[in-house]
Amino acid sequence: MSTRTDLLASAESLLRTKGYAAFSYADLAHIIGISKASIHHHFPTKEKLGVAIVENYIFRFCKRLEQIDQESESAVQRLIAFSALFRESRDASLLPLCGALAAEIAVLPDSLRKLTKGFFELHLRWVEDTVKLGQEEGEIKTSQGLKPLSRTILNFLEGEAFVSWAIQEDSSSENSFECFLSGFTKHS
């Protein structure tokens, strides 16, 4: 891997475990084994590093969503695969990136606030499209509207990730999202 790639990966991990405001270039230099000046060569400011982390993550996230869409025709299976992204974060002892950023929205630079908002909107658009597909195919039944249900799904997954993080719960033994999902799917 390149130094830039290592920096992004390590900084993302710090952001998702310590928070944006709590990690420093000194932390990053210690982990990577380079000088702070070398980090500044790649990312002159912490804001530029933060933007690069989020943009890099969004790119990877979009690829995962495309993969989910290609591998599953069923909206329910897509939503279950989507929930696995949150479980993967928990299993790696990481908060979801968008949730970690949202927790610090008041102290983020404007550029990161805008990216965080856009990242949540990306989540919601994908969930809305998937729920709409499920409704059209008769897999998902609900009296809630499309937007409220989609927001509820994202709220559930983000909230579950934060609760599991806080109580250091092992998520491998159960899938509470499937239980939640069964409340409005055809097979419930």
In 10 A of CB 91, how many CB atoms? 13
Supply the pLDDT for residue 183: 79
Give 133-136's long-range contacts (Cβ < 8 A, gap of 24+).
Answer: 133/75, 133/78, 134/74, 134/75, 134/76, 134/79, 134/185
Supply the pLDDT for residue 1: 66
Supply the pLDDT for residue 115: 97
DSSP string across 99-125: HHHHHTGGGS-HHHHHHHHHHHHHHHH
SS (H, E, C) 141-161: CCCCCHHHHHHHHHHHHHHHH
pLDDT of the chain, 188 residues: tens digit per residue: 688 999 999 999 999 999 999 999 999 999 999 999 999 999 999 999 999 999 999 999 999 999 999 999 999 999 999 999 998 998 899 999 999 999 999 999 999 999 999 999 999 999 999 999 999 999 998 888 889 999 999 999 999 888 888 887 665 545 788 888 877 776 54
Supply the pLDDT for residue 185: 77
Supply the pLDDT for residue 186: 65
For residue 167, give the 3-state DSSP assignment. Answer: helix
Supply the pLDDT for residue 174: 54
Burial of 103 per CB tally in 10 Å (0-12, 13-18, 19+): middle
**Whole-number Cα distances in Å, 78 to 64, 107, 128, 130, 148:** 11, 34, 12, 7, 18
Q: Are 156 and 175 in contact (CB under 8 A)?
A: no
Supply the pLDDT for residue 52: 98
Q: Are 7 and 42 in contact (CB under 8 A)?
A: yes
Supply the pLDDT for residue 165: 82
Token pair, residue 184, equals: 């409005």
Pick from 141, 147, 158: which is nearest to 124 by CA? 147
pTM: 0.90
Please name each of the domains of the chain with its CATH number: 54-184 (1.10.357.10)
Largest CA distance in the chain: 57
